[in-house]
Structure 1
Amino acid sequence: MPSQQEQKIFAKFKKIVIQQLSVKPDEVILNSKFIDDLGADSLDMVELVLAIEENFQIEVPDDLVGDIKTVREAVKLITNAIEKI
């Protein structure tokens, strides 16, 4: 079960995903795969990373960008980055 902080991050990130990928709210769950389930392409993923950096005031290392395949992985990455601040 996600922590309270992860739940807050997920709620905020979900809004970003809905806006960036033009998907329905019920399509964005922790297990959603950006490419397979939400129809994202490589450009969408770059834009999502930029939105993560802007909205959460963090920097996503380039070598981790390719590792983000699901909403859960993105939430974990954001959570870990915030905890390091």
Structure 2
Amino acid sequence: MTTTFDKIKTIIVDQLDVEETAVKPETNFENDLDADSLDLFQIINDIEDEFDIVIDTEEGLITVNDLVAFVDKEATK
């Protein structure tokens, strides 16, 4: 069974062209992955498509785990 984290990690690896080992729950998008707001926007768009949810804001989505928790919360609505 593929977890939310696994799906999101795959999207991040594809979008940012980083190694899978670089993406951990505590990974910070800006500090650890050098992702800018456009990168995060593209990641969020892919996640919205994958999980059929809407993410209204990037606010508070600093780490991979923040994004996983948000997606899990939205997916159960």
State the match for 1:79 in structure 2: 72
Q: How does 1:30-49 map to 2 (within 5 A)?
A: 30-49=25-44
In structure 2, stretches of 5+ residues that fail to align are none
How many pairs are equivalent? 77
In structure 1, stretches of 5+ residues that fail to align are none
Alpha-carbon separation, structure 2, partners of 1:55 and 1:48: 10
Q: Check if 1:10 corresponds to 2:2.
A: no
State the Cα distance separating 1:49 from its structure 2 match. Answer: 1.0
State the Cα distance separating 1:34 from its structure 2 match. Answer: 0.4
Q: Check if 1:51 corresponds to 2:46.
A: yes
TM-score, length-scaled by structure 2: 0.93
State the match for 1:66 in structure 2: 59
What's the % identity of the aligned pairs?
31
RMSD: 1.4
In the TM superposition, structure 1's runs of 4+ consecutive aligned residues that sit over 3 Å from their partners are none
State the Cα distance separating 1:44 from its structure 2 match. Answer: 0.4
